[in-house]
């Protein structure tokens, strides 16, 4: 079972703005990349066509502490903070060496794909069994 993952990355030039810093919107992408890496480490895919479910985000909060620049090496530490019947809440910290440059939380809800309107459905047992979280309910 996997409930945490460390995802290494390097800032690419296209991710920076005219001031030479990473544009704020990229941090959300970094966290999402880390989330997908966590799922892969658990032997899963967040978009498995055979599962019939998807995981749209229903909440995302981020706090910026310091800027990243072109070619900075950094890591995203992501962990599952809570796993409910229908949702997964993550907590992430983007770090350059020992410095936290951003911290975030986000929540994804399990929905049946292709059904409108979307509504929350229980996490499939196969997914629940591979993802573990402290305080899971």
Q: What is the pLDDT of residues 2-46, one digit of tens each?
A: 789 999 999 999 999 999 999 999 999 999 999 999 999 999 999
Q: Does 57 have pLDDT greater than 60? A: yes
d(CA 51, CA 112): 9
Q: How many domains does the chain have?
A: 1
Q: Is 37 inside a domain boundary? A: yes
Residue span of the structural domain in which 48 resides: 4-130
- pTM score: 0.91
- The two three-digit tokens of residue 62, written as one number: 């981020």
Q: Does 81 have pLDDT greater than 50? A: yes
d(CA 114, CA 104): 29
pLDDT band at 1 (very low <50, low <70, confident <90, very high): low
Q: Is 124 inside a domain boundary? A: yes
Q: What is the pLDDT of residues 87-99, one digit of tens each?
A: 999 999 999 999 9
CB 121 within 8 A of CB 86: yes
State what percent of residues in the chain have pLDDT above 90.
85
Q: How remote is the C-alpha of 80 from its chain's centroid?
A: 9
Q: Is 137 inside a domain boundary? A: no
Average pLDDT of the residues in 70-93: 96
Q: Does 135 have pLDDT greater than 80? A: no
Q: Is 136 inside a domain boundary? A: no
Q: Is 119 inside a domain boundary? A: yes
CB 33 within 8 A of CB 106: no
Q: What is the CATH classification number for the domain harbouring 29?
A: 3.10.129.10
Q: Is 87 inside a domain boundary? A: yes
Q: Is 135 inside a domain boundary? A: no
């Amino acid at each position: 079972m996997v409930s945490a993952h460390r995802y290494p990355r390097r800032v690419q030039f296209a991710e920076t703005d005219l001031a030479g810093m990473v544009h704020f919107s990229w941090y959300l992408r970094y966290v999402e990349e880390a989330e997908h890496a966590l799922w892969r480490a658990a032997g899963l895919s967040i978009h498995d066509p055979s599962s019939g479910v998807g995981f749209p985000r229903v909440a995302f909060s981020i706090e910026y502490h310091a800027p990243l620049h072109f070619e900075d090496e950094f890591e995203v530490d992501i962990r599952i903070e809570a796993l409910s019947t229908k949702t997964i809440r993550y907590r992430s910290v983007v770090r350059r060496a020992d410095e936290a440059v951003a911290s975030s939380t986000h929540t994804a809800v399990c929905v049946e794909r292709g059904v409108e309107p979307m509504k929350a459905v229980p996490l499939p047992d196969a997914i629940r069994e591979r993802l573990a979280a402290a305080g899971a309910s």
